[in-house]
Amino acid sequence: MAIESYAEKNCSIAKPLAFLGERWTVLILRDLFLGRRRFDEFQASLGVATNVLSQRLTTLTEEGIVERRRYNEHPERFEYVLTEKGRDLQPVLLALLAWGDKYTAENGPPLEVVHGDHAFRAVQTCSVCGEPVDSHNVHTRPGPGANDEQRRANGRRAPEWLAH
């Protein structure tokens, strides 16, 4: 289970990947955002093996991304719904969707995302100045949570990819 080692790195990209990086997890989240909530709905929609699906739903529950909710007693029946923490992953899925629409959707987007009454794409803007962010006007530096190694490494290195 080497993917769990992601969680030990001091990195806000690696840590979420400890569970998001497991196969099928992101597609289960997509289904959750589309309103699906039952084991068999996920299974039918994805074609994933049931033991894997069961395992993923357990992990997502443990991570607090979904809530496992009993909607019937006798027999016990459960459904899975996104928590606030889970819904906060929406930007990740929308960013992925925007990229996929741009580069993989030859016949136009299979799915439109609607805000109020208009279909839209997700655009990333700066939380401070409100300007759109693109890959050319951004760089990085160690933050308050950086360890010594990270501080040293970043000091040594210029973001050379910017210079291109």
Partner DNA sequence: TGGGGTCGCTTGCATTTCACAAGCCACGGT
Partner DNA sequence: ACCGTGGCTTGTGAAATGCAAGCGACCCCA
- Residue 78 binds to DNA (criterion: CB under 7 A): yes
Residues 20-49 that bind DNA (CB under 7 A): 22-24, 38-41, 47-49
Q: Does 55 bind a second copy (CB under 8 A)?
A: no
Q: Indicate the residue type of 40.
A: D
- Owner of token pair 């910017």: 162
Q: Which is nearer to a second copy, 1 or 74 (CB)?
A: 1
Q: How far apart are CA 164 and CA 155, in angstroms?
A: 20
CA neighbor of 113 nearest in space, from 37, 33, 41: 33
Q: Which of residues 96-155 bind a second copy (CB under 8 A)?
A: 96-116, 118-129, 131, 133-147, 150
Binding partner selected for residue 74 from DNA, a second copy, none, CB under the kind-specific 5 to 8 Å limit: DNA
10 touches a second copy by CB under 8 A: yes
Please identify which residue in the block is written with the tokens 């899925």.
Answer: 93
Q: Of 87, 106, 79, 97, give the one whose Cα is nearest residue 33.
A: 87
Q: Considering the complex, what minimum distance in angstroms separates the CB of residue 71 from DNA?
A: 7
d(CA 33, CA 46): 14
Amino acid (1-letter code) at residue 92: V
The residues binding DNA (CB under 7 A) are 1-4, 22-24, 38-41, 47-52, 54-55, 57, 74-75, 77-79
